[in-house]
Amino acid sequence: MSRQVTAATLSRPVPESDTELFSAAALLDPYPHYAMLRSLGPAVFLTRYGMYGLFRHDDVRPALVGWERFSSAEGIAMNPVTNELMAGSILGMDPPRQRVVRKVFDDALRPKYVRKVAGDLERLAGDLVDGLVRQREFDGVADFARKLPVDIVLDLIGFPRDGERADLLEWALGAFDFMGPASAHQSSCRPDVEALMQYLATKATPEKLLDGSFGQIVWQAVDRGEITDTEAVMTMSAYACAGVDTTIAGISSTLWLLAQHPGEWAQVRADPETVAGAFLEGLRMEAPVQSFARVTTCDVPLEDLTIPAGSRVVLSYGSAGRDERHYPDPDRFRVRRAPSDTVAFGFGVHHCPGRALATMEAHALFTALARRVDRIELAGAVRRTPNAITRGLSALPIRVT
């Protein structure tokens, strides 16, 4: 009897690793784990989590583009409870439905509209940095990175200006942590998700959202029958989660890197054109979204390996940025590298629609700093809170001259 030859039978077995990639210790310093996982092959089976993982840049990027084989439709979280709760979120859709919902984001976040707030961002960044320079010492997260995302972006999204709005940031961090592999810690984040959903149900309603905001564009799409009520609430949730903490993490990590590399800061000061590249380099090295997952719709060959159909696969944006196969000397922060091909904003159909806005915020802040500050130094120990999905700092003591 002839044996059927499939891609799976021609391949060598996918290498396995029992590394605890989502333990608190690994989340605080994932880079040695990523380097080990990249060395094993183009795909690795993570035995502790029952998931495959892609850790090399040149495997992660095509997987992001190839949504027909690496689908988001079964959710991009790493546990079934969260994937069920996220039903109706754009992040958990494939085209053609994803394109319909995506239009709502693209209409709001188109660079030509976003540029309208450039003046506000520059003014606010200038005033902020003037005050921080007078203070000389400040917290790079609370006093620097948080200001524009909270004061401008939450207004743009349209959340009412009340006391509860600031809590969104904590709830969103909890919601990201809730997307990790099932564990006691992961399920302990559920109250944050419930608080976020309760807030959205009561405050992100058409009559309460600020006039002219992105949120109102979302509900107008519901009125036109383009998206459903559930999709609208989940769209507001995507704005709250994807749009604020990520930008704060990216800005504070870049500031942290600049403080540790005075020579690189001198280059930014000498040539303001390098500001955009410095932010990209910060995101490459410290991706605010470290990973999301996909599910394979068929057997997927990768070099001499095959990932079987129906597998959950972690796509590691954080490891891709440190891949020595793609970026020479990847652990070195060099503002002139300006890695515009970084996957830190994703790629393909789900690439980040907020990229232009986040970049403008970072640009306004670092340009204001470059005009006024000669030296940036660390003034104490930094603090991080481990999170299954996002990577950022919780405290960053900074001194400027």
The bridge status of strand 300-302 relative to strand 44-46 is unpaired
What's the min distance (Å) between Cβ of 133 and ligand HEM?
A: 24
Of 174 and 288, CB closest to ligand HEM: 288
Element (H, E) at 397: strand 397-400
Q: Which is nearer to ligand HEM, 69 or 350 (CB)?
A: 350
- Position with the least CB separation from ligand HEM: 354
Residue 280 CB, nearest approach to ligand HEM (Å): 10
Report in angstroms how near the CB of residue 16 gets to ligand HEM at its nearest: 25
Q: Which residue has the tokens 């989590």?
A: 49
Q: How far is the CB of 104 from ligand HEM (least distance, A)?
A: 9
- Phi then psi for residue 325, to 5 deg, are -70, -25
Q: Give least dist CB 149 to ligand HEM, A.
A: 7
Q: Of 106 and 223, which CB lies nearer to ligand HEM in the complex structure?
A: 106
- Minimum gap (Å) between residue 315 Cβ and ligand HEM: 7
Quick one: 41 or 243, whose CB is closer to ligand HEM?
243
- What length is written for the chain? 401
Contacts of 395 (CB under 8 A, 6+ apart): 139, 141, 142, 382, 383
Residue 350 beta carbon to ligand HEM: minimum distance, rounded to whole angstroms: 4
Please say which residue, 27 or 76, places its beta carbon nearer to ligand HEM: 76
Of 128 and 344, which CB lies nearer to ligand HEM in the complex structure?
A: 344
Q: Give the whole-angstrom CA distance, residue 362 versus residue 146.
A: 11
CB 100 within 8 Å of CB 226: yes
Interface residues with ligand HEM (CB under 6 A) are 64, 72, 76, 90-91, 98, 102, 105, 153, 238-239, 242-243, 246-247, 250, 283, 288-289, 292, 317, 344-346, 350, 352-354, 357-358
Secondary structure in 3-state letters for 116-180:
HHHHHHHHHHHHHHHHHHHHCEEEHHHHHHCHHHHHHHHHHHCCCCCHHHHHHHHHHHHHHHCCC
Q: Which two tokens stand for residue 52?
A: 């495959």
Among residues 19 and 246, whose Cβ is nearest to ligand HEM? 246
CA distance 253 to 288: 9
